[in-house]
Every structure is written in C-alpha cells, then in structure tokens.
C-alpha cells in the first residue's frame, strides 16, 4: 500500500497521471457524470425541502400563539381566497374540467366548514384544531392531491346515492377526451370496442379480442411516404449524386 502511494505521489513515476489517462478519463468519468448530476439535483432538492420545512415550522409556531378568532380567520382565508380566484378564472374559460374540479372542491369544503363551525365551540381551544383544518383544506384544494375529488367520490356520492350520475359523468369525460386525442376514424373504432366491452353479450366483448382488433386497426394505417433527396431509381439502383444533380 505504501509503494502504491509513493507511485501515485512522486512526479518521477507519474502514477496518478497514468491512472487518470488509462482509467479515470475513459471509463470512470463518463460513468460518474450522470450520477454526479443526479446527486447534485437530490442535494439541491433536499436543501430546498429542509429550508421550506424550517420556514413552515416557524410560521406554525407563530400561528399557534395567535388567538382562536384570528386562527379561524386564517383558516377560512386559506380555504376561500385562492379557490375563489381559480373558480372565477375557470368560469371565464371554455374548458369544463376546471369548472367541475372547483365545483367539487366547494361542495366538499362546504361540508368541512360546517364541521368546523359546529365543533369549534367544543374543540376550538384544543391546540392543533385549526392546524388540522388548514392541512385538510390544503389537501382538498391542491391538484397534486385531488383530495376534494376523492372525498366527493368516496363519501358524498355514496351518501347522496348518486353513483349512476357519477358513472355517466365519467363516461362523458372519457368520450370528450377520446374525441380530443384521437382522429375521428380511430375514435369511432375505439368507441365501438368500448360499446362491445360493456355489452358483454357476445364473445367479442372479451378484452383480449378487442385488443387484437385495435392492434389490427393500427396496422391498416398508411404512414406518409418521405421522398429522400437521393432515393432509389425505378430499376432499384440508387441514384448517385453527380455534378448535374439538382440539390434545390
């Protein structure tokens, strides 16, 4: 081990340079660069997450010392200000999906507000009550969680007995998305396959059979032919470029 250290260290042997030229530069460098980028991104993400968590912790400590009336105002403001702005923007657009999303949120948030309004006389003085309300509101509000849609489907729809209407709404949404993403011919084929699957009265409703039909339909699609500048001639021989070839 001592010999290897001296071989790497002394300028006369140039061991470190030999290892760099023969191993590090051609092999280790290209392999470790992507790993270094991933580690740098992870370190930056971890640093930002810890910084944000520390700031949120300070805000939470300040929030805990506020009077209950002010806590209630903050909780209601978090649940109403941003969703109101998003709802007004959604109404002004032509898309229906964002209208449905925020209408679902207001339905679920209305139930949460009623629970808070009824129980805060008994539970409002318990530390963490309004913090729980704020976290629940954020869970319902942010699209990354889609909490309002989950609570709407799992709780409100079963209580109201509206399963059929919810299934009909989902079917309409799928049809609109299908017509938006596919061309009319492929959309008609997919629509027929879905109808066969839900019919279930024939052997054609088997999912494997429907999948094979769709794959066969893809094979019939004619891709546009691309004419290369120097393609093959009619006889099969390639046209070699020469001084008389028109490049324009």
In this model, does residue 220 exceed pLDDT 80? no
Condensed to tens digits (0 to 9), the pLDDT of residues 94-119 reads: 888 888 899 999 999 999 999 999 99
- Where is pLDDT greater, at 183 or 108? 108
Stretch 124-137: mean pLDDT, rounded? Answer: 89
State residue 30's pLDDT score.
Answer: 85
Q: Which two tokens stand for residue 81?
A: 């200000």
- Under the banding of pLDDT at 50, 70 and 90, the label for residue 188 is confident
State residue 18's pLDDT score.
Answer: 81
**Of the listed ranges 69-73, 148-152, 197-201, the one predicted with least confidence:** 197-201
- Under the banding of pLDDT at 50, 70 and 90, the label for residue 224 is low
61 by Cβ neighbours in 10 Å (0-12 / 13-18 / 19+) ranks as: exposed
Condensed to tens digits (0 to 9), the pLDDT of residues 25-38 reads: 888 888 888 888 89
State residue 17's pLDDT score.
Answer: 81
In this model, does residue 139 exceed pLDDT 60? yes
**Of the listed ranges 61-65, 90-94, 169-173, the one predicted with least confidence:** 169-173
Condensed to tens digits (0 to 9), the pLDDT of residues 228-244 reads: 554 444 444 545 555 55
In this model, does residue 203 exceed pLDDT 90? no
d(CA 198, CA 195): 5
> Do the beta carbons of residue 131 and residue 120 sit within 8 Å?
no
Report phi then psi at 238, rounded to 5. -75, 140
Angle CA 118–113–156, to nearest 5: 105
d(CA 26, CA 222): 46
In this model, does residue 185 exceed pLDDT 60? yes
Mean pLDDT of the chain: 81
Stretch 67-77: mean pLDDT, rounded? Answer: 91
């Amino acid at each position: 081990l001592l010999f290897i250290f001296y071989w790497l260290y002394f300028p006369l042997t140039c061991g470190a340079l030999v290892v760099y030229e023969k191993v590090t530069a051609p092999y280790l460098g290209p392999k470790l660069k992507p790993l270094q980028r991933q580690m740098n991104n992870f370190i930056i993400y971890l640093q930002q997450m810890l910084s944000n968590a520390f700031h949120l912790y300070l805000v939470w400590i300040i929030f805990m010392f506020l009077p209950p009336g002010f806590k209630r105002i903050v909780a209601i403001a978090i649940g109403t200000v941003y969703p109101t702005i998003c709802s007004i923007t959604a109404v002004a657009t032509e898309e229906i999906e964002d209208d449905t999303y925020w209408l679902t949120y207001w339905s679920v948030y209305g139930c949460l507000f009623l629970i808070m309004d009824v129980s805060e006389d008994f539970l409002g003085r318990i530390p963490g009550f309004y913090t729980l309300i704020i976290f629940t509101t954020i869970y319902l509000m942010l699209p990354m969680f889609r909490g309002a849609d989950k609570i709407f489907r799992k709780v409100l729809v079963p209580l109201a007995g509206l399963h059929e209407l919810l299934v009909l709404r989902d079917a309409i949404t799928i049809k609109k998305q299908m017509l938006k993403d596919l061309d009319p011919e492929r959309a008609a084929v997919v629509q027929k396959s879905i109808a066969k699957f839900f019919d279930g009265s024939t052997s054609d409703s088997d999912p494997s059979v429907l999948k094979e039909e769709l794959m066969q339909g893809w094979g019939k699609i004619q891709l546009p032919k691309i004419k290369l500048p120097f393609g093959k001639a009619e006889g099969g021989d390639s046209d070699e470029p020469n001084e008389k070839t028109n490049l324009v």
